[in-house]
């Protein structure tokens, strides 16, 4: 099967802003495919060569955060954040964009993960905690965008839950409290496909729930 080749010179910008861009990917004469993306033209996934593509840094990181208390209690940490496209508070994981300064670090994903966890939960990752990459790059919906998230795991030994805070929220971020799910609560949330208020949640929340209930973080 001959696959289409998308060349930089055949990509036409339709909209370019500070946060969102739309490009026309002309993959054959007279044939067009549209891509809504955070990336600038020179960094689009579609025009990268094989080696550059496979070493690509994701746009953001989403974090599976599991809290372990001194008595051995294990909870999945989620939070309610107002998501503008839905007009609602949705149950989600600590997450955020990978900044230019992260790309200067040895592991950009883990650098961004540690920062976002601190900003959105108040927790500073300690030496006895686990912080690792689950998946280096996942596409949200490659049928319309090349936007991507890495998935990171943080297992945090927490002495005192009172350190949890959402005061570090920046810009347009609006948070409304945490959910510390037990195993049974996580299974219930998965089975129902909704949070306790009856609202849907994102694929990355689903991934965190699945990772937690299947105890993959113990491997």
DSSP string over 140-205:
S-TTT---EEEEEEEEEE-S-GGG---TT--TT--EEEEEEE-HHHHHHHHHHTS-TTS----HHH
178-to-11, 89, 111 alpha-carbon distances in Å: 43, 12, 23
The first and second tokens of residue 173, run together, are 């971020």
Please give the tally of structural domains in the chain.
2
| CB-CB neighbours of 170 under 10 Å | 8
Q: What percentage of the chain carries pLDDT values higher than 90? A: 84
pLDDT band, very low/low/confident/very high, at 130 (cuts 50, 70, 90): very high
pLDDT band, very low/low/confident/very high, at 19 (cuts 50, 70, 90): confident
Do 29 and 129 sit in the same domain of this protein? no
For 61, how many CA atoms within 13 A lie in the half-sphere containing its CB?
Answer: 28
Do 97 and 194 sit in the same domain of this protein? yes
Q: What is the pLDDT of residues 187-206, one digit of tens each?
A: 999 999 999 999 999 999 99
- The reply to whether 3 falls in a domain is no
Do 164 and 190 sit in the same domain of this protein? yes
Find the CATH number of the domain harbouring 81.
Answer: 3.90.79.10
Q: What is the pLDDT of residues 63-110, one digit of tens each?
A: 999 999 888 899 999 999 999 999 999 999 999 999 999 999 999 999
Do 66 and 103 sit in the same domain of this protein? yes
pLDDT band, very low/low/confident/very high, at 162 (cuts 50, 70, 90): confident
The first and second tokens of residue 215, run together, are 């105890």
The residue assigned the tokens 């799910």 is 181
Q: Is the dihedral of CA 93, 151, 98, 66 positive or negative?
A: positive
Query: What does the pLDDT read at residue 58?
Result: 97
pTM reported for the whole predicted model: 0.94
What SS3 class is residue 13?
Answer: strand
E strands, 19-112, are 21-28, 31-37, 60-68, 74-83, 88-92, 95-97
Average pLDDT for 127-153 = 96
Task: Judge whether residue 171 has pLDDT over 80.
Answer: no
Do 186 and 94 sit in the same domain of this protein? yes
DSSP letter assigned to residue 39: S
Do 124 and 195 sit in the same domain of this protein? yes
213: containing domain = 60-218
- The reply to whether 162 falls in a domain is yes
Strands 60-68 and 74-83: antiparallel
Average per-residue pLDDT for the chain: 94
Do 106 and 210 sit in the same domain of this protein? yes
Task: Judge whether residue 122 has pLDDT over 90.
Answer: yes
pLDDT band, very low/low/confident/very high, at 172 (cuts 50, 70, 90): confident
- The reply to whether 1 falls in a domain is no
Q: What is the total residue count of the chain? A: 219
Do 138 and 78 sit in the same domain of this protein? yes
Question: d(Cα 131, Cα 9) in Å, to the nearest integer?
Answer: 41
Average pLDDT for 155-166 = 90
Query: What does the pLDDT read at residue 12?
Result: 96
Task: Judge whether residue 21 has pLDDT over 90.
Answer: yes
Do 69 and 31 sit in the same domain of this protein? no
Task: Judge whether residue 170 has pLDDT over 80.
Answer: no
Q: Which residue has the higher pLDDT, 113 or 177?
A: 113
Do 21 and 81 sit in the same domain of this protein? no
């Amino acid at each position: 099967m001959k696959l289409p080749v998308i060349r930089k010179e055949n990509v036409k910008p339709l909209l370019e802003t500070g946060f969102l861009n739309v490009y026309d990917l002309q993959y054959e004469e007279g044939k067009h495919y549209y891509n809504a993306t955070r990336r600038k033209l020179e960094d689009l996934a579609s025009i990268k060569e094989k080696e550059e593509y496979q070493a690509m840094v994701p746009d953001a990181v989403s974090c599976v955060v599991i809290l372990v208390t001194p008595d051995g209690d294990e909870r999945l940490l989620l939070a309610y954040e107002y998501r503008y496209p839905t007009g609602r508070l949705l149950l989600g994981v600590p997450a955020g964009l990978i900044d230019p300064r992260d790309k200067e670090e040895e592991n950009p994903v883990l650098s961004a993960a540690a920062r976002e966890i601190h900003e959105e939960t108040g927790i500073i990752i300690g030496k006895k905690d686990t912080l690792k990459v689950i998946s280096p790059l996942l596409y949200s919906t490659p049928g319309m965008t090349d936007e991507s998230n890495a998935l990171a795991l943080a297992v945090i030994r927490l002495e005192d839950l009172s350190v949890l805070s959402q005061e570090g929220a920046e810009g347009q971020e609006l948070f409304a409290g945490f959910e510390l799910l037990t195993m049974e609560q996580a299974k219930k949330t998965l089975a129902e496909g909704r949070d306790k208020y009856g609202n849907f949640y994102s694929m990355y929340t689903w991934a965190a729930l699945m990772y937690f209930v299947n105890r993959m973080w113990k491997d």
